Structures are given as C-alpha cells and as structure tokens.
Structure 1
Amino acid sequence: MRGAGAWAPLCLLLVAAAQHSGPQLSERPVFTCGGILTGESGFIGSEGFPGVYPPNSKCTWKITVPEGKVVVLNFRFIDLESDNLCRYDFVDVYNGHANGQRIGRFCGTFRPGALVSSSNKMMVQMISDANTAGNGFMAMFSAAEPNERGDQYCGGLLERPSGSFKTPNWPDRDYPAGVTCVWHIVAPKNQLIELKFEKFDVERDNYCRYDYVAVFNGGEINDAERIGKYCGDSPPAPIVSERNELLIQFLSDLSLTADGFIGHYKFRPKKLPTTTALPVTTTFPATTSLKPTVALCQQKCRRSGTLESNYCSSNFVLAGTVITTIPRGGSLHATVSIINIYKEGNLAIQQAGKNMSAKVLVVCKQCPLLRRGLNYIIMGQVGEDGRGKIMPNSFLMMFKTKNQKLLDALKNKQC
C-alpha cells in the first residue's frame, strides 16, 4: 500500500470528476471493470478507484466521441506496480476498438502526456497479475478537432502527396517529457510511401524502452508488421512501405529528453521505372536477385568456427526458444522467445507481457535448420527492418546451461 500522502490528490480528482459529470452526480463516481463510453467527454478509472485494484483482472473501456473528431485521453492519476518494461500490471491504450494499433503501455506512477487517437474511437485496457497492486488510474477523455489540437498535441492523419512530421518544439528546443504522438500516413491504394528522417536525436537506450520512434507497415491494425523501433542519435535508414499505409509512433517518458526529429514523406507509384534505384526495407539489398539466393541455398550446410570466433563478426547474439516457424518460398520466418541476449545490435526486440521475442529470417529454410520448441544460440546479422538474418554460414547451435558462463564472458568482450 502507498502512504497516506497519496490520498489528498485522489480526493481532489474525485471532486473534479463529480463536478465535471454534472449536477445529477451527488456522490463520488463508482469505477467498474471496463465499459462502453460515448459523448464529448467523460472519466474512466480502474475498478474500485481510488481503492487498490483487484489482482488477476483484465478490464476494457471502449470510448467513442462524435464522428469527425478524435479522442484525447489525459491521465489524471496513475499508480500501478512498477517495472521498467511494464510486464506485470499495465494500462494499454489503442487506436480504434477492434484490433487497433497500440499507442502506448504505461505502469508505475509514470503519467504520460495527452494521448490522441487518429479517429473517433479509442480503447483502454488494464491488466493486473497476482502480485503487487496500487491505487490504479483515473483518466479523462474528450473530443477534439483532428487538425486543431495546438502544440501540446502532435500526430494526426496525413493524406497529402508529400509532407513532414516533427516532435513538439522542433527545432527551437528539446521535445517535452510525457508525450505520445501517432502519425497515420495514407496514400492512394496504388501507391507506396517513402519515409526519411532528416534529423534524429531521441534518448538512447539499448532496448529503446524510454523514448522511441516505432514505424509500422499498415495502419491501425494491431498485427501490422513493425518495421523498426528507433532511438539514439543516428537517423533510421530510409523506409519504403509495403502497402499504402504507414503508422509512426513517438513516445517520451518523464525523464531525459533530447532534440527530437523531423521526418519527410512522399507518395510514389508501386512500380518504378527500372532506372530508378531506391532504398528498400527488405532484408536483402535492392540489387539481390533470386538466382544467387537459390545458388546459395544449394550449397552444403556447414557451420564454421566457434562461439568465440563468431561473436564479434555477428550483429546480434542471443539464446532463445523457437516458438513459431513459417515457411515462405525458400525461406523460413521464425519468432524466437528470448532466454538471454548477449549482443543486440539493431535487432528489434518485441515485448508481450513478461516475455521478450525477436523475429528472424532464415534465408535458406533448411540451412541452418531451426525446429519449433527447441532452444538455440543464434548469431547473425540484422536487416534494415530490425529482423535477424540467418545465412547458411551463420553460427547456430543448441543452447545448454553449460554454455551460459562462456556467453556471459563474451558479453563483456571488447570487439
């Protein structure tokens, strides 16, 4: 339980909620597990707020504001079990109601800035595990005009043939703490989107956990493929969408900030003249043709060297369990649940509950052979999309606990 000092602001919040809800409300609002909310504005809160929220719960709130407007969500209070990766108790906020793209995940006492949907629908979901709890959360939603949200908000729907997007305060000063922005770029059906960051400076972290930019193929669909998650001071490589939609998310936490970024986009036809060379986001160079890959996959599969000799030449090194394998053409797309990561490089790490995973592409599906359910040490390179790339000569072996000491020693090795 938290100290008594937390209760004073809670009482003020409840009074504000009662006043906002109109004269018909004579006592404090009762917050239940989820609900359907419509209208220009309103409040949502964790079950039993401001009391301690229950364990092992999953609550979903679906918010709809008038057609033609967007939803703005402001957290007034948040106190959930704290964890750097928000793996245990957390609040997720999504664009739309069904299969919406997640705008952000929050826990602890981190109160994000205003969260803005790109349509008139938003979904909020809170999940708690069996252990530590807090006083939960309380948030206010309101309707806003999509293009008249002032500088305190950012993001929006971009449908012009070309344009730019930037962090709040750019270029005069650092972006503010506690900001979430979502830009949804939509081109005509027969066109793709080119994306390029001109300047880029976002708080650095090995896992990009605190401040980051994430780019997705597709729109507000939760299974849209993430192209990459970026932070630090090196601009991401230019990106070309696979379809006519891209979603760009930017999130800053409540601590360090940086200069921010400005990015530019433009629409282009799906088929370009053969004289035009553009950067692509696939894991193969633009000049790679099918024949060399076929020839490569016909070679004898042979692992060379040792853990030590392959460590420095590999972009990433991890131990993990193969949880999915999907053959596509002559290649294999696999998802690996991470047991431990020793060298990350630019590998895109995904978080789902308490588990971390990464996607890898085995260029020749039979070589090296990955089997679902088995544990491996995997060393390889990383494509521009953040996916691990396993070539026939990449180093791969079964993972056993006796390897742990050597891998820990390699982790501290200077390459």
Structure 2
Amino acid sequence: MKQAVCAWLGLLLLAGGGCSQQPRESRHAFTCGGNVTGETGFIGSEGFPGVYPPNSKCTWKIMVPEGKVVVLSFRFIDLESDNLCRYDFIDVYNGHVNGQRIGRFCGTFRPGALVSNGNKMLVQMISDANTAGNGFVAMFSAAEPNERGDQYCGGRLDKPVGSFKTPNWPDRDYPAGVTCSWHIVAPKTQVIEVQFEKFDVERDNYCRYDYVAVFNGGEINDAKRIGKFCGDSPPAPIVSERNELLIQFLSDLSLTADGFIGHYKFRPKKLPTTQPPPVTTAPPTTTTMKPTAIPCHQKCKRSGTLESNYCSSNFVITGTVITTVTRGGSLYATVSIINVYKEGTLAIQQAGKNMSAKITVVCKQCPLIRRGLNYVIMGQVEEDGRAKILPNSFVLSFKAKNQKILNVLKNKRC
C-alpha cells in the first residue's frame, strides 16, 4: 500500500513522507489515453497536475487478469462543473467496446469505487473549448468478483424477480461518495416493473446531490431517462419500455440518509385486455429541451425596470459574455458570472472560483448581446438548466450604479 501511495505522490510531483526520492526526469507524465494492463496502476488527465487542454478526447482501456474485475477509485477530480455534466466530463464503461456506461462525472465530486462486470473497463474524458480545471487522477486494481464486499453495489440482475438496495440497508445510512448501477435484463418478450418499498434519499428540489435515476435501456442516457428521484417519498411504480432497465444511485460527499430497497419483476409486454392498462413510466424530472421556437420579427424592447422584472424572472445575474456562437436564428453564449442575485433553476458551472452559465438568446439580435461586454441578465430557464432570453426579457448593460439596486432586490421576497 505504501508503494502505491508513494507512486501516486510521485505522479503528483511530490516527495517525502517516507517515499524514496526519484529523479524528476523519471517521473511519469500522464498522456491522453492509452492501453493499461496489470493488477494495479494509475491513470490521469493529460498534463496533470496542470490544467488539462481544451477540445480533447482521451480514452483509457484498462485490463486486469482474466477472471477478475476492475475497481476504479478516483483520488482527485476537478473538471468544469455542470448539473448534467454536458461540457467537460469523464465517462466510465464496462468492457472496451459497446459496454454499459457505469457513470458520468464532472466538477469536483469524487464518486465512490466503480466496479466493472468483467476484467475490462474503459475510461473516457472529453473537454470542450471553455473553462477547464486540473483534471483527475484515478487508481485501478484487480479484485475477485465474489470479494467486492458491502462497500460496492450494483451489478447485472437477470432473474425473473429480485431486489436491490443501498449499501448498509437497513442497519444504517448509506455511505457518502457511492455510485451504484443496477442493470436489469429481462427476456426479449418481457418488460420490467420496479417498485420502491422504502425510500429516503437526501432531499433537494432538483435532486442535485444524492439521487436515484432510472433509464430505459442499459446505458446512462438523458434522452432515455424515465425519472430522477430523491427525498422521502417513494417514486410511483415504473415500467420499462423494453426488456432492459438501468437504475443508478449516487451520493455526494456530504449528508446521507436511510437509503432504499426496491423490488423488480418481469412481466409480459402486453397484459390481457380484461386487465387495466399498466402504470406508465413517469415523465422525466429533467429533460433536454430545445429553445422555444418563436417569431423573431417582434419588436426588441424591454419594458419596466429592474425592480418590476425581478420577481417575474426565474434568475437574475450579472456577468461578462465570454463566448458566442450563432446557430440558425439563435445565439448561444457563455457568461462568466460576476454575481448571482437570484439563482432559480439556472445551471451554474464552477471550476475553482470561476462560475459561468450557458444562455440562449432565442432571437439572436433581440436583445443584442456582444462578447466581452458586461450585462445584467434576467430571464427564464429551460428544463435542462440553460437560460432562455426572449425578446421581452430584461437585459441591460451592467453599470456600477446597478449594483446598489440589485443588492436591495436580492433580499426582496417575491
């Protein structure tokens, strides 16, 4: 264990603590992806501990000895933060080709140990053109499939009836920093019905911290997400569209709760017509929506004042426009945030001390927003967390004199 820790510290260009000194030129520099084999080892983002490059796609193929499984533990992670991990992110998959995605991660959240179904795992890191961080370092090791213990959870479930539960259930709270994925697979002619018997997961209005997400199919894909759940009310019964269902549980590194136990069963795709119709899947809690198509010939004129628009706006921020891209008749921009006065449901990304948000100006010149300038921006939010700016949204150039009014409004009850 000491050798592994020392190796990790060496990779971080640190020395001491009883580790032997290594010549600087012999220390390993992380590269963009590669094939990695053995009982144990490390992978890391290109250039770590420096800032990872933009517009990159790096893939690591990990293989441990036949008959064992891969256990991946993140030691450090710092990527552009986003509630849906849409910009910079790390994907982890079972196998090397067409494998089930175990999880997607970004920001500074460090997930619990991730375990593959077999002796292969694929890790892929993608970055866009904008804000970056220091990247990640992760350690992989080989483990016996039947010796994963209670700290791990998830796996493939293919029996006609079964259960799944959070680690430590029912004796104590689930641990912090855990990621579990249950892949339920029925015969082609059947579907899967899931019911939660007990349910207690850290409450948040948008389930941003601890949550259970359920997906049609075997891949974590927002387009196939049935729902995202947290709090202490069990979700309604869920029925898959086809013969595969994926259930993901994730806890962050802070508060925990009792957890849950759920049960599943296979059933025919079509019930006899004499029976009531099956319970359909709940609509997704969060879905990606395209900006609303509206006529862009209307007059571009805001009305009212900062005060009169504050309560009717879902969010209020001040910021500098740092990127703009025109697609179709709309403008897509990134705003580096100066201050947040009303967050609402706006998805705010954070990398270090820098915060940013994505906005869509539905009619690209209405209101006119230019890169490099500062604005007060009030508007509504799409269900994916992106700001939507309509022709009548209240947007104006940010001046020092606005600061006092906004500080007063921040304490206003709507």
TM-score normalised by the chain length of structure 2: 0.62
Aligned to 2:202: 203
C-alpha contact 2:238 2:280 (8 A) present in aligned 1: yes
Q: What is the distance in 1 between the residues matched to 2:393 and 2:163?
A: 50
How big is each residue's C-alpha offset from its partner over 1:190-244, in whole Å with a ceiling of 9 and x where there is no partner? 1100011111111122222221111100013747601111112221111000010
- Show the counterpart of 1:260: 259
Q: Show structure 1 runs of 4+ deviating over 6 A.
A: 12-16, 336-344, 353-357, 371-375, 377-380
- Measure how far apart 1:148 and its partner are: 3.6
Q: What is the deviation of 1:89?
A: 4.9
Q: What letter matches 1:197 in structure 2?
A: F
Separation in structure 2 between the aligned mates of residue 162 and residue 59 of structure 1, nearest angstrom: 39
CA positional deviation for 1:277: 4.5
Partner Cα separation in structure 2 for residue 356 and residue 130 of structure 1: 11
User: Which residue of structure 2 lines up, in the alignment, with residue 188 of structure 1?
Assistant: 187
Match of 1:80 in 2: 78
How far apart are the structure 1 equivalents of 2:97 and 2:126?
17
Q: C-alpha offsets along residues 94-143 of structure 1, whole Å, 9 cap, x if unaligned?
A: 344456435130333x4321012344432222344555533x42212233
Amino acid paired to 1:142: S
Write the mapping of 1:116-195 to structure 2, written as runs, cut at 5 A. 116-128=115-127, 129=129, 131=131, 133-134=133-134, 136-195=135-194
AA matched with 2:176: A
Q: Provide closer, same or farther for how the CA distance between residues 413 and 164 of structure 1 changes in structure 2, counting only shifts above 3 A.
A: farther
Matched letter for residue 270 of structure 1: K
Q: Alignment partner for residue 401 of structure 1, among 385, 393, 396?
A: 393
Q: Which residue of 1 aligns with 2:50?
A: 52
Distance 1:92 1:374 in 2: 37
CA distance in 1, matches of 2:231, 2:10: 40
Q: Distance in 2 between matches of 1:271 and 1:8?
A: 57
2-structure distance, mates of 1:276, 1:97: 43
* Coordinate RMSD, CA, aligned: 5.0
With over 3 angstroms needed to count, the CA separation of the structure-2 counterparts of 1:187 and 1:224, relative to structure 1, is: farther
In 1, distance between residues paired with 2:137 and 2:380?
A: 44
Contact 2:215 2:221 in 1 (8 A): no
Q: Is the 8 A contact 1:162 1:267 kept in 2?
A: yes
- Indicate if the aligned counterparts of 2:32 and 2:45 stay in contact, CA closer than 8 A: yes
Q: Distance in 2 between matches of 1:237 and 1:337?
A: 38
State whether residues 34 and 60 of structure 1, in contact with CA within 8 Å, keep that contact through their aligned partners in structure 2: yes
| Residues 244-393 of structure 1 mapped to structure 2, 5 A cutoff | 244-274=243-273, 275-281=275-281
Alignment length, in residue pairs?
325
The one-character-per-residue Cα deviations of 1:13-55 (angstroms, maximum 9, x if unpaired) are 7899xxxxxxxxx943332111122444332122233x41443
Instruction: Give the match's secondary structure for 1:11.
Output: helix
- What stretches of structure 1 of length at least 5 have no aligned partner? 1-6, 17-25, 284-316, 325-335, 358-370, 381-385, 388-396
- Name the counterpart of 1:107: 107
Task: Give the TM-score normalised by the residue count of structure 1.
Answer: 0.62
1:92–1:106 CA contact under 8 A, matched in 2 = no
CA displacement at 1:83 relative to structure 2:
3.6
Q: 1:180–1:14: structure 2 CA closer, same or farther, 3 Å change rule? A: farther
**Preserved contact between residue 15 and residue 28 of structure 1 (Cα < 8 Å):** no
How far did 1:249 drift? 0.8
Query: Relative to structure 1, is the Cα distance of residues 70 and 255 closer, same or farther in structure 2, using a 3 angstrom cutoff?
Result: same
Gaps of 5+ in 2: 1-5, 16-24, 284-313, 317-325, 367-378, 397-408
Structure 2 CA distance for partners of 1:159 and 1:413, relative to 1, 3 Å: farther
Contact map agreement 1:217 1:226 (CA 8 A) in 2: yes
In structure 2, give the amino acid aligned to 1:240: V
Look up the match of 1:63.
Answer: 62
State the identity %.
64
Shift of 1:355: 7.4
Q: 1:186, 1:95 → 2: CA distance?
A: 15
What SS does the aligned partner of 1:10 have? helix
Aligned to 2:40: 41
1:236 pairs with 2:228? no
Counterpart residue type for residue 103 of structure 2: I
1:92 Cα deviation from its structure 2 partner: 3.2
User: Residue deviations 1:336-381, cap 9 Å, x none?
Assistant: 999999976xxxx9x9x98789xxxxxxxxxxxxx99999x9999x
Give me the whole-angstrom Cα distance separating, in 2, the residues matched to 1:84 and 1:372. Answer: 25
Give the letter aligned to residue 72 of structure 2. L
Given that 2:80 and 2:106 are in contact with CA atoms closer than 8 Å, whether structure 1 keeps it comes out as no
Q: 1:267 to 1:338 in 2, by over 3 A?
A: farther
1:217–1:123 CA distance, 2 compared to 1 (3 A): same
1:116 and 1:182 in contact (8 A); partners too = no
Aligned to 1:306: none
User: Any conservation in 2 of the 1:93–1:122 contact (CA below 8 Å)?
Assistant: yes
